[in-house]
Structure 1
Amino acid sequence: MKFYYWVILSIIGSFFYINPLIAYNLRQISSLDGLSNSSVICLSQDSRRFLWIGTYDGLNMYDGRTIRVYKPDINNQNSLSGNVIRNILETDDNYLWISTKWGMNKFSQKENRIEEYYIEFKDDAFMDQDKKGNLYIWNRKDMISFYDKQKNRFISLPINEVKETSDFVNFIIDSNDTIHIFRNGIIERYTVDLRIPQHPQITRHANFEHPVPFKHIFKNKKNIFLVDERGDLYVNNSGNYRLITNILYLMNQNGGIISSIIQDEKDILIGFLMGGLLRLDSHRN
């Protein structure tokens, strides 16, 4: 299998050197096209295949032709609580959960507005949902929060406390409803018993083992993407991990810090904090 890379978004308006032996096409979308900020923090593709782009100054919705920008508005109580967008998640009830520096926002795609705020989830609040659409949030070292849909409230679940964490952490739920907490290069695993939804019970399991520490881990729909210290990119979509390719060269060329990885049909989009967005396309021999 051969892999071809090309830059489809040069968000900071820069052109990157790419090995001439690698075929690529270049397309640029910048602030001139309506993008609110040059630094991409997170990406999410909704059920309509619209791309939501979280930046350091606003939320952007890209429909393939135009960009719509969402920002806080002191005159609109249904606007975002903050302009720094940390994370975006679509739940199966047509809501977007948007994590900002100043709290969590529940955004109705039908009404195109924020319907609920949770200011207790500030800064880095990681979130995911299980197969039944139950929402979980992790933003404290010793606690996971479960969203009770019936009462519109969060229930706290205690977990193993780690005092020191690495610069990059993440929180995902796999296709078997196992919670993965990534910190200090390792992956902790938990499951939650929801037979009594108002009184969920959490259980810790053995850590996931890998020969070298992981640097990044992301989830998009049913796929989990992992990048280890060697730059090897893996995907897990059925409980098994498969090596895709090594992206160390791309990481070095684009600032090294990956902000998001998502899959668009057969292609993989890799967002860099200071280097825009790259498309990884595979073609069979």
Structure 2
Amino acid sequence: MSKAMTPRTWFLTGASRGLGAHWAEAVLARGDRLAATARDIAALAPLSERYGDHFLPLRLDVSDTAAVRDAVRSTEATFGGIDVLVNNAGHMLVGAVEEVEEEQARAQMDVNYFGALAATRAVLPGMRERRAGRILQVSSLGGLVAYPALGIYQATKWALEAMSESLAAEVAAHGIHVTLIEPIMFPTDLAAASPQVAQDPAYAHARQALYAGAEAAGFTPGDPAATSEALLAIVDAPEPPLRVLFGTGGLEALRTEYAGRLAGLEQWDHLSRLAQGKPSGS
């Protein structure tokens, strides 16, 4: 695993489990400083014991915007600034659009989108002042393609995608790079640890289509630990990508998706022209 020329300071949300736990270990193992957040920081105690003052555990619910700002300020006060933000906290609500309660939908957006937005906005002043910084947004293949029974979850990722693409264009002049990470399939128990909907038999076919689609696409589970090296490579790259897929099979799925979108738009282009109307003065 490559080592950075000088130690960096990271702010990582959702560090207690899944990909975040692997990333926290990798960041600290190479000598960087890390502020890591979790709703239950007891899970972070082993890292505190091993890495001492290189590690700052923070109890945080990212849906609390004021608490997010406080956590960022605490990290800046402790380490002198944040070089890398990784917005990883999130959960996955599985359910058809009609099955999801409004409160569940709002909570999903609060964590996956507004939590990332709050952390992003909080680190930007310091990064702009130093004219350097990396912001890594953990999206999903579902931030680029929408599958049945995941509409609300994927809506949060589509929102994250749009915000981050605009942000990348806005902050490039300040020396800040933004990267959207698109994991495909990793055994992290994300769905199992997330809120559940009351399933309606009317949408059993949607859940079946979700799993059948993943099987048909040939998605196979990747190794969560292996993502750490890829994450560090993004941060070390002089010109990191705006988007990068984590895992295999995604490119083929996207080629099919985008070809279908273009074909559909071309098929109905006659309505596009009808809606345009005639040029004024003709």
TM-score range, shorter chain: under 0.3
- Greater share of strand residues, 1 or 2? 1
- Greater share of helix residues, 1 or 2? 2
Q: Give the TM-score, by structure 2 length.
A: 0.27
Larger Rg: 2
